[in-house]
Chain A
Amino acid sequence: MHKNQFDAIVVGTGISGGWAAKELCEKGLKTLVLERGRDVKHIVDYEDMKAPWELPHRGRKTQEDIRRSPIQSGVYNFHETSKNFFVNDHDQPYEQVKPFEWARGYQVGGRSLIWGRQCYRRSDVDFEANARDGYGVDWPIRYKDIAPWYDYVESFVGVSGSKEGLPHLPDGNFQPPMPMNCLEKYVAERVKKGFNGERLIIHGRTANLTQQIGTRGPCQYRGKCESGCSYGGYFSSNAATLPAAAATGNMTLRPFSVVSEVLYDKEKRKAIGVRVIDAETLEVFEYYAKVIFLNASTLNTTLILLNSKSDAFPNGLGNGSGQIGHNLMDMPYGMGATGTFEGFKDKFTFGSRPTGIFVPRFRNINEKTKSPHFLRGYTYQGGAGRGRISWADGVGTQLKEKLSEAGAWSMSITAWGEHLPYYDNKVTLDPVKKDKFGMPVLRIDCEFRENEKKLGEDAMNSAAEILEMGGLKNVKTYDRGKIPGSCIHETGTARMGKDPKTSVLNKWNQMHEVPNVFITDGSAMASSSCIPGPSITYMALTARAVDYAVSEMKKGNI
């Protein structure tokens, strides 16, 4: 056994782990940052500079990709240049008690390399939701607690968007928004007027930079985000937080480090470190620190907690409440509508915009907007565009002529909805099966229920109303039939709350029962909210939690 002592340990290098590393290092703590996958260096390890004809399969996935990663290869942005940012499914199998798509990126940077980049603040409509309708436990924080931390992280991240003055979708510290195209502007005006301002189409808010920050950005509108971005056009751990952490000289980054458990000292009533399995050699190491941040992403943080069994915590670290692994949420999404537009025939778009338009929530924000059919709400992301006609009957010159014509403008919007926290939606450790590292396999048992179904139906039909009001023709609704997990917003399995009997973390993301362990990834969420882009909330909570943890350390409380 090697013994290594640090001030702090961060488990995971994705969106929240990168922030924990940056904040801890900048506050002067010698920090060990553990990542289960390989290293990915900004720019050096990206394939974004290749032209399509330089890719052997011109971007397509191969049968070998599907064999290697049957689940990951179904994720929307799995591509020839991004596939190395997705896990080999055979390395970490899991049991789907009910169908659950678990997208994973095991490398330095985690899923921050392949995330959707949308960034929306949550409001008190979200933080008060559980208290209002009784599902889940009340959030121990309100918007005012997190608002300054949204300000803080947004200015570093670089979020482009427009200020709208909506109480249920707070404005942020934004860079100028990416422009709407002619059809989006036209539809937005008609919708605003037609629904008396109750339904709105606004600019998407995205962590794609319209202004340079240091050496990052601005976005070059190439449409290649999932390949990594050599321009640093979007926020990732690799481009932003990890270089900042490294620049302090306080970070020790250790890739290929699978954390199997958090070590707990019963006498000290504290965690003392972590046990690590080297992913390449399977050798076991122990590392020690005064404070530990778990940012392994929702389900893997849960796995580590449940696997950290001791006399003091026979059911997993800090699991006196029995809530760890429960209340798993994703977001129901994929319900929407699409339509075509007859005008703007002489207009086209230039550049590939990495965001679109956003429709803020308009259901259940107050008494007036209360739905008799379902609780909570939904939002839409979407956009309009126009391309060349891509398929036509026939062959020869006449086919080529047809494919030289522009198609009609079209627009679609797709809903992201709230998933209520149900205790029975859960992950547990398989009692028998283990992965190649000897870690128990997770059993994921999660479903959408009646509320999600009714919310989805309303979202689908309302999408058509919005597009029709916007002046689109041939409006058709759709439901992509997405299963839990596929929104990649899995959250809730180590939730924050006021009461240690019913929650795992306090209002500082600190474990009620283990004061020097902080959890600031998606597992901390007490509700899913219908605001997409949960990452900005994880970032804000992480920076806030580090600030608190370090001040507690200085006071000698940790």
Chain B
Amino acid sequence: MIGAQAFLDSACTRSNTHKILNSDQIFLLNEIGETIFPETDTPGARAADVGSFMDVIVADCYTPEDQKVFLNGLEKLQDAAKKSFGKDFLKLSPQQREELLTAIDQEHIQYTKNKGQNDPAHYFRMMKELTLAGYFTSEIGATQFNKYNPAPGRYDGCTTEKPWH
């Protein structure tokens, strides 16, 4: 059982680490995340692998209804990319990606303002929230954007030092 079978086993192991999203979707969400929260002088959301974080949270923490909104949202986002630019999101330039997601963000703001109490959240709110939460709780976000201090040892309620970089 070497060669092909070993390859299959390793492939199975790899795909089993995903919970609800496939590798392509995780890749896409990392690119969406990077557009939402890009690399500047500090790393962006892709480096923090927010796509894998979303896989875990959507699978384990979301209700079935919210999972559906999220998963359909990936298709809606691709449809919007095709409608605006005639291309798959991944084929867009960074400027086009930002332009598209800025428009979807506006759409989500309008939707959120008008939605009923029992209506689900907009899919883009989920993606944006998970991008930010995933980033700030990742090792990269917590240590390179924020200043991570596991045991501050004291409280200073009046310091001029910012708690992030």
- CB within 8 Å of B: which residues of A? 49, 51-53, 56-64, 178-182, 184-185, 220-222, 231, 344, 346-353, 387-388, 390-391, 393-397, 399-400, 403-404, 406
Among B37, B38, B137, B157, chain A packs the most CB atoms within 10 A around the CB of B157
Residues of chain B contacted by A64 (CB below 8 angstroms): 60
Q: Using Cβ atoms and an 8 Å threshold, which residues of chain B touch A59?
A: 137
Does A63 lie within 8 Å of B158, measured CB to CB?
no
Cβ contacts under 8 Å, B105 to chain A: 393-395
Which of the 9-residue segments B5-13, B69-77, B144-152 touches chain A? Answer: B144-152
Interface residues on B, range: 35 or more
Q: Check if A63 sits within 8 Å of B154, measured CB to CB.
A: no
Asked if B121 is at the interface of the complex by the 8 Å CB criterion, the answer is: no
Residue from A59, A63, A182 with most neighbouring chain B CB atoms (10 Å): A63
Q: Cα distance A396–B33 when bound, in Å?
A: 9
Closest residue of chain B to A390 (Cβ to Cβ) is B132
Contact with A along B137-165 (1 / 0, CB 8 A): 11100100110111111111111111110
Say yes or no: B98 contacts A347, CB within 8 Å: no
Are A221 and B155 within 8 A (Cβ)? yes
Q: A64-B60, A181-B158 are in contact. Are A399 and B36 (CB under 8 A)?
A: yes
Contact A396 B61 (CB under 8 A): no
**B62 contacts the other chain (Cβ, under 8 Å)?**
yes
- Which 9 pairs, one residue from A and one from B, show the smallest C-beta to C-beta distance? A181-B157, A351-B152, A182-B158, A351-B155, A350-B156, A58-B137, A220-B151, A52-B137, A62-B60
Q: Which residues of B contact A400 (CB under 8 A)?
A: 37-38, 40, 44
Which residues of A have CB within 8 Å of B102? Answer: 394-396
Smallest CB–CB gap between B108 and chain A, Å?
10
**C-alpha gap A351/B159 in the complex (Å):** 11
CB-CB under 8 A from A393, the residues of chain B are: 105, 109
Does B80 interact with chain A (Cβ within 8 Å)? no
Residues of chain B within 8 A (CB-CB) of A352 are: 152, 155
Q: How far is the CB of B165 from chain A (nearest CB, A)?
A: 8
Min Cβ gap A470→B in Å is 15
Question: Which residue of the partner chain A has the closest CB to B95?
Answer: A396
Whether B157 lies near A182 (C-beta < 8 A) is yes
Known: A51-B139, A57-B57. A403 touches B132 (CB 8 A): yes
Tell whether, in the assembled complex, residue A349 and residue B159 are in contact, meaning their CB atoms are under 8 Å apart: yes
Collect the chain B residues with CB atoms within 8 Å of residue A185's CB.
157-158
Instruction: Check A222–B150 contact: CB distance below 8 A.
Output: yes
In whole Å, how far is A351's beta carbon from the nearest beta carbon of chain B?
4
| Cα distance, A406 to B151, chains bound together (Å) | 22
Chain A residue with minimal CB distance to B103?
A395
Given A184-B157, A220-B152, A351-B154, verify A396-B63 contact (CB < 8 Å): no
Is there a chain A Cβ closer than 8 Å to B101's Cβ?
yes
> Which listed residue, B35, B40, B142, touches A52 by the CB 8 Å rule?
B142
**Is B89 interfacial (CB-CB < 8 Å)?**
no
- Which residues on the A side are within 8 Å of B128 (C-beta)? 395
Please name the residue on chain B nearest to A230 by beta carbon: B151
Within 8 A of A (CB), among B48-62: 53, 56-57, 60-62
Asked, given contacts A63-B63, A350-B161, A350-B163, whether A395 binds B53 with beta carbons under 8 Å apart, the answer is no
CA distance A62 to B56 in the complex (A): 10
Which chain A residues border B156 with CB–CB below 8 Å? 179, 349-351
Closest Cβ neighbor of A220 among chain B residues: B151
Total number of A-B contacts with CB less than 8 angstroms?
127
- Smallest Cβ distance from A239 to chain B, in angstroms? 17
Would you call B37 and A58 a contact (CB within 8 A)?
Answer: no
Q: How far is the CA of A351 from the CA of B63 in the complex (A)?
A: 35
CB distance from A225 to the nearest CB of B (A): 13
Assess the A350–B101 pair: CB atoms within 8 A: no
CA distance A180 to B159 in the complex (A): 12
Of the residues B37, B137, B153, B158, contact of A53 by C-beta under 8 Å:
B137
Instruction: Please name 13 pairs of A and B residues whose Cβ atoms are closer than 8 Å in the assembled complex, sorted by A.
Output: A58-B134, A63-B62, A179-B157, A185-B157, A221-B151, A346-B160, A351-B156, A388-B163, A393-B109, A396-B36, A396-B98, A396-B101, A397-B38
Q: Are B61 and A61 in contact (CB under 8 A)?
A: yes
* Residues from chain A with Cβ under 8 Å of B92 in the complex: none
A81 to chain B minimum Cβ distance, whole angstroms, is 13
Question: Which residue of chain A lies nearest to B163 when distances are taken between CB atoms in the complex?
Answer: A348
User: From B124, which residue of chain A is reached at the shortest CB distance?
Assistant: A395
Q: Which residues of the other chain, B, contact A53 by a CB distance below 8 angstroms? A: 137-139, 142
- Interchain CB contact under 8 A, A350 and B155: yes
**Known contacts A179-B155, A397-B40; 10 further A-B pairs (Cβ under 8 A):** A49-B150, A53-B138, A53-B139, A347-B159, A349-B159, A350-B152, A351-B153, A390-B132, A395-B35, A403-B132
Q: Is B133 an interface residue (CB 8 A)?
A: yes
Q: Which residues of chain A are within 8 angstroms of B98 by Cβ–Cβ distance?
A: 395-396
**A406 partner residues in chain B, CB cutoff 8 A:** 162
Q: How far is the CA of A393 from the CA of B108 in the complex (A)?
A: 10
B102-125 CB mask vs A (1 if < 8 Å, else 0) is 100100010000000000000000
When C-beta atoms are compared, the residue in chain B nearest to A388 turns out to be B164
Cβ of A56 and Cβ of B56 under 8 Å apart? yes
Q: B163 near A349 (CB under 8 angstroms)? A: yes
What separation, in Å, do the CA atoms of A437 and B80 have in the docked complex? Answer: 57
**In the bound complex, CA of A184 to CA of B157 (Å):** 9
Q: Please give, as numbers and ranges, the residues of chain A lying within 8 Å of B40 by CB-CB distance.
A: 397, 400
Which residue on chain B has the smallest CB distance to residue A386? B163
**Distance from B106 Cβ to chain A, minimum over Cβ atoms (Å):** 8
Q: A396–B138 Cα gap in the complex (Å)?
A: 19
* Contact yes or no, B155 A349, CB < 8 A: yes
| Neighbouring A residues of B160 by C-beta, 8 Å | 346-348
Q: From residue A187, how far is it (CB to closest CB) to chain B in Å?
A: 12
> Chain A residues near B101 (CB, 8 Å)?
395-396
Most-contacted residue by chain A among B98, B101, B154 (CB, 10 A): B154
B60 and A51 within 8 A (CB): no
A61–B61 alpha-carbon span in the complex (Å): 6
Residues in chain A near residue B60, CB distance under 8 A: 56-57, 62-64
Known A-B contacts A351-B156, A400-B38; A391 and B137 likewise in contact (beta carbons under 8 Å):
no
| Contact assessment for B61 and A62 in the assembled complex, using a CB-CB cutoff below 8 Å | yes
The smallest beta-carbon distance between B118 and chain A, in angstroms, is 18
Q: Which residues of B contact A222 (CB under 8 A)?
A: 150-152
Residues of A within 8 A of B56 (CB): 56-57
Q: How far is the CA of A395 from the CA of B106 in the complex (A)?
A: 10
